[in-house]
Each structure stands twice: as structure tokens, then as C-alpha cells.
Amino acid sequence: MRRNRLQNSWIRRAQRRLRDRAHFLIARGFFGGLSRLGRLHPRANPAVHGVEVINDIEYERTGNARHRLDIYRPIDREGPLPIVMYVHGGGFNLLSKNTHWLMGLAFARAGYLVFNVDYRLAPQNPFPAAVSDVCSALEWIAEHGEAYGGDLSRLVFAGESAGGNLATALTICCCYRRPEPFAQRAFATGLVPTVVAPACAPLQVTDPGRLNRRRKLPRWVNQILEGMRDSYLLGFRDLTPGDLELADPLHVFERKERPDRPLPGFFVPIGTRDPLLDDTRRLERALRTMGVECEARYYEGELHAFHALVWRRQARRCWREQLAFMARTLRQPREPYQEDFVASA
């Protein structure tokens, strides 16, 4: 009997691994193909929108192709431009800056200098590799952003889904003194964003069941959330809650911890049919309780990452409202903190 139970347990684990691998390959093929197909459209040419693109700049010299970013900027530009650092989504284990070319184009078309960032993916590179990478990308932007025409005092962190989680974690690294070496390097840049825009983000990766406890979700959604946790937090059961704070950035705000530097304004859009809806609601409550400006927008009937489908009415509305919030908030720029402040604060 015991032997049969062990065999059955092994078979179930093998089936789950095969299922997760199949989901991964299907999703990668679908989204990658959709992105490549979109590039074939005549209006996908950046020059049509007055935008130029500089591809594959190394932000960390490791030889890893994931340590690269693309720059999108208006061709006809006057003076330093506000900066968007964009972090792509994909469950921490899928997609790239190349699949998210549309995000770079959309922000640059609106007058922003965009750094569209790649990072190492799980499970080959589990947490905290992705957080470390976006911190390294910020260091590069701090050093080189002005040379490409950017204004570091008008800085936006943006991303959708897993990228929204990473943009929020990066904000914490910039505003709170933390023990991780990569977080300390991000803090030492002196940069603090004026706006953070995490769209439809999973903000408590360690507990995928939290969402199903709030409202019943389809089994396949729960499986995706569990798979995301298991790949991103590989070996997470050996880590302490303190080790995982940057995977669960929502907890930092819900504890109402006072930041070492003022937190930026947040724009947090999500569809009401998105399984991650409750994380955005909790983020809004936590930030408002802390006295942080937060404009949460809930789009009736929309699914996960709906705003990427820019031809749809609700997606266009989301982009209009996001850009309006950014323009309004960026009128009050935040100068980088100086070295003497960093040393003495």
C-alpha cells in the first residue's frame, strides 16, 4: 500500500510538471506569435508615430542577453523628456521586452523617453534575480539617462502583471533602506519615481490561495497562480518571511512602515474580471491609509492585462487616464537625492 501511494504521488507530481510545461510552451508560443504578428502591421513601424528605437543596450555587462534594454524616444523632441522605466509581465517566467514593444511605443508616442527592460526569468533564475536585475537597470538609467535626453527628476516606473510587481518592489528599494545589496545600490542612486503605475499586478506571490478565498476562481487560474509561485520562488519554503518581502510588496504597505523617502503617486488600473483584482483593492486601501496619493481605476468587465489590446475602447480609456495622471503628477518633479543625503539620512 505504501509503495502504491508513493508511486501515485510521483505520478501526480510528474503530471503536474508536464502540465505546467505545456502551459508554458503554449503561452510562450501564443504571446510571442501575437507580438510578432502585430509588428507586421504598417502602423507598428515606430517612425510612423515619430518614434525612434535603440535596441539591445547592455545595462549590466554579464554577457546574459536578458541584461539588456531598448530605448524608445520621440524623434522630434525639445529639452529633457520625462522618463518611463517599463518592466514587462509574463508571470516571471515568460515574455520579454521584445514582446512588449507596444508599451514602449505607446509611452514614447506620448512624449516620454522609455527604457524597456529585460530581466532574467524563472525558474532558471528564481527570486530575487528579477528584482536584482531591475535595480541594476535603474543604476544604468541613473548614470546614462540624461545622455539619452531624459529628465531624472520626472521618473515613472511602470509595468503590467509580474512587471507591476517588480515596479512596486523597485519603488520599495528606492524609498526604504533595505538589507539586500541590490536594494542598497538602487537606494544609493538617489532616484525616486514621481509616479508608479503597476497594472493588474500580483502583489503577494507567496500565497496564491488568497485570491480564491476572496472569490471562487476557476481551477486553471489557481493552477497558473500556484505555478507562478513555484517557479518564481523556487525553494521558497526554505526562506523566511523577511526574505520574501520584495516578492510580496503589498505587505510592506499594509504594515504601514514609514518610508525613508516619500512614496510616489500610484496609478493602478485593473479590470473587474481580473483574478488579481483583490490585490489592487488592497494596494489602494493600504496606500490611502498611509496618506499616499493613489488613483485606482476599475474597468468594468475587463480581463487581465486588457489595456494591452489598445484598439479596444476600454483599453484606450485606460491609457488616456493613465497618461493624464502622469502628466498631472509630473508637474511636480522630484530631484534625485544627493550623495550627502544618502550617506546621512
Residue 24's pLDDT is 42
| 8 part of a folded domain | no
Q: How far apart are CA 229 and CA 133, in angstroms?
A: 19
Residue 139 has pLDDT above 90, yes or no: yes
Instruction: Name which of 92-101, 142-151, 219-228, 230-239 the model is least confident about.
Output: 230-239
Q: How far apart are CA 160 and CA 277, in angstroms?
A: 13
Q: How many domains are contained in the chain? A: 1
Residue 216's pLDDT is 87
Average pLDDT over residues 178-198: 98
- Cα dihedral 277, 281, 283, 287, rounded to 10, equals 160
Work out the burial of residue 190: count CB atoms within 10 Å of its CB; fewer than 13 is exposed, 13-18 middle, 19 or more buried.
middle
| 7 part of a folded domain | no
Q: 66: how many CB neighbours lie within 10 A of its CB?
A: 18
Q: 14: how many CB neighbours lie within 10 A of its CB?
A: 10
| 3 part of a folded domain | no
Q: How far apart are CA 139 and CA 187, in angstroms?
A: 9
**In terms of DSSP bridges, do strands 51-58 and 150-160 run parallel, antiparallel, or are they unpaired?**
unpaired
Residue 26's pLDDT is 44
Average pLDDT over residues 295-321: 97
* Alpha helices, DSSP H, located in the chain: 2-39, 101-109, 129-144, 162-175, 181-188, 209-214, 219-232, 249-254, 277-289, 313-329, 339-344
With CA atoms as reference, report the closest residue to 138 among 101, 191, 89: 191
Nine-digit cell string for 277: 483584482
Average pLDDT over residues 173-186: 98
| CATH assignment of the domain containing 284 | 3.40.50.1820
Using one digit for the tens of pLDDT, what is the confidence trace for 78-96?
A: 889 999 999 999 999 999 9
Using one digit for the tens of pLDDT, what is the confidence trace for 244-300?
A: 999 999 999 999 999 999 999 999 999 999 999 999 999 999 999 999 999 999 999
Using one digit for the tens of pLDDT, what is the confidence trace for 106-138?
A: 999 999 999 999 999 999 999 999 999 999 999
Average pLDDT over residues 324-344: 76
Strand partners, 51: 74
Residue 25's pLDDT is 44
Amino acid residing at 253: F
Average pLDDT, the chain: 89
Buried b (16+ CB within 10 A) or exposed e, 115-140: bbbbbbbbbebbbbbbbbbbbbbbbb
Nine-digit cell string for 70: 531598448
| 5 part of a folded domain | no
Average pLDDT over residues 22-27: 44
Residue 189 has pLDDT above 90, yes or no: yes
Q: How far apart are CA 35 and CA 52, in angstroms?
A: 19
> Which residues, in sequence order, are CB contacts of 29 under 8 Å at separation 6+?
none
Residue 76's pLDDT is 93
What share of the chain in percent tops pLDDT 90? 77
The structure's pTM equals 0.88
Residue 308 domain boundaries: 19-344
Residue 149's pLDDT is 98
| 169 part of a folded domain | yes
| 96 part of a folded domain | yes
* pLDDT level of residue 31 (50, 70, 90 thresholds): very low
| 260 part of a folded domain | yes
